[in-house]
Amino acid sequence: MNTLPAPFEERMRKLLGEEAPAFFDALQTEPPVSIRLNPRKFPASLPIFPQAATAGPVSWCPDAFYLNARPLFTLDPYLHGGAYYVQEASSMFIAHILNQILPEKEIRALDLCAAPGGKSTLLSSLLPPDSVLVANEVIRSRATILKENIIKWGSEQVVVTNNDPSDFGALRGAFDLILVDAPCSGEGMFRKDPNAIQEWSEHNLQLCSERQRRILQDIWDCLKPGGFLIYSTCTYHREENEAILEWLLRQYDARSVEIRHSFDSITPGYSEAYCYRFYPHKTRGEGFFTGVIQKTEGPEFHLPANKKNKISPVSLPAETRALLAYPELYTPYANEQIVGILPVRQAAFIRLLDNSLRVLYKGCEVAEIIHKKVRPLPALALWQGLNQDQCPIYQADKTTALTFLKKEDIPPIPLTGDWILITHEGIGLGWCKNLGNRLNNYYPKEWRIRMQLNS
Ligand code: SAM
């Protein structure tokens, strides 16, 4: 690991006292590797990660495991099929929080700083039925990666947007839950990402803390009275953590929410506000901070009943509709040549999002219609609501699946039907067009694996 910045070392020695040597020792060890399975996709019986059984579960998150070693994830078809997400274990504590604060009824949630999508995929797996999650990322290139990860995770409950926090003005009081996983000085990532050390500076600490307040100020109005704001960072710096929660509580009608737990490895934050710290010498994970604030008062949200938010009726092509496991649960939409589906109970709200934000993706884009010809889209192959029984299926072994994911030709097999779903161990990966003696690979060019298979 690169040399730690001296002012950081000094501050941590003061903060941790006699625990400090254990903390610095932990920073010299290999970071643990952990994954979270996609509960809607992962056939639990598959011994895909036998090593997970020995490395143990992540205790605060369902379906999450440590691995004994870091595999070459790029060459694992399951990852490309959205069967699991590689996620740092401390940050999965969000699952434990959600289990305590989520109601049973549907909600509207916003993940404001969402790329690359770790917490959005986690949230989308835990949302009550009929809910919607807006996964937003301000930086365009990062929003593209977020969109890819959301499509692969395969939930139709997510809308991906590319906006600055100040753009959410039309959505006052609209969200039951807002997650602000704020951009921060990244001290908790020093072990895992040496760049975080290079980018650290005392000047940047100050900028981060100012930016966090600005982000929260911009978005606070969008939280519904009674709604929850989960704030998190991956730094140890008090001005970006406890001080931000204290500032929120001073500034707004809000209360701090206690999250009950029995994990000795979690350190209480240094504040009257309830908050939780994760240190690498105590937790099998990286540095992390989180706390929950509940809004006590504020304006209620009403969906404006204007014409612009009405959904124009669209019907799906019959061959596409036949591929949906539960077509009655969705409202179809059309966007130029693309047709997609939205969850019925959120369709009007999503239309409002369309009219007020830069929406990059919504629901599930199921097909493209060009000159009356219907082409199934990659998202449909990856979607949790696809009825695979209605598709001609090519069950690809690992080598063939990787060849497909490299967007190269895979050997044809005798199958009838125009469009063939390529799967690996039951996980949908994408489509090939059946030309009889050849299969045309329709895997998206921008997602293809660029690595050599034998490397
Ligand atoms: N929640 C993500 C996950 O779990 O995968 C990680 C989010 S990362 C800690 C913080 C994100 O905030 C980055 O993607 C960054 O681009 C974004 N960001 C940077 N400046 C921002 C700003 N001014 N407002 C909102 N988001 C910002």
Looking at residue 55, its pLDDT comes to: 86
Residue whose CA is at the smallest distance from ligand 1 atom 26: 113
* Mean pLDDT to the nearest integer, 229-250: 98
Contact 309, 351 (CB under 8 A): yes
* Mean pLDDT to the nearest integer, 27-55: 79
Looking at residue 304, its pLDDT comes to: 83
Indicate if the pLDDT at residue 45 is higher than 60: no
Each residue's pLDDT tens digit, 253-307:
999 999 999 999 999 999 999 999 999 999 999 999 999 999 999 999 998 876 6
Each residue's pLDDT tens digit, 84-140:
999 999 999 999 999 999 999 999 999 999 999 999 999 999 999 999 999 999 999
**Residues marked as catalytic:** 234
Residue whose CA is at the smallest distance from ligand 1 atom 10: 183
Q: Which residue has the higher pLDDT, 361 or 1?
A: 361
Q: Is 145 in the pocket of ligand 1 (CB under 6 A)?
A: no
Structural domain boundaries in the chain? 391-455
* Mean pLDDT to the nearest integer, 156-183: 97
Share of the chain above pLDDT 70, in %: 95
Looking at residue 276, its pLDDT comes to: 98
Indicate if the pLDDT at residue 195 is higher than 70: yes
Q: Is 115 in the pocket of ligand 1 (CB under 6 A)?
A: yes
Which of 34, 85, 86, 113 is the pocket-test mutation for ligand 1 (most atoms within 8 Å of CB)?
A: 113
- What are the structure tokens assigned to 267, written together? 């350190």
Query: Which of 3.10.450.720, 3.40.50.150, 3.90.400.10, 2.70.240.10 is the CATH number of 391-455?
Result: 3.10.450.720
Each residue's pLDDT tens digit, 345-400:
999 999 999 999 999 999 999 999 999 999 999 999 999 999 999 999 999 999 99
State in Å: Cα 112 to ligand 1 middle: 8
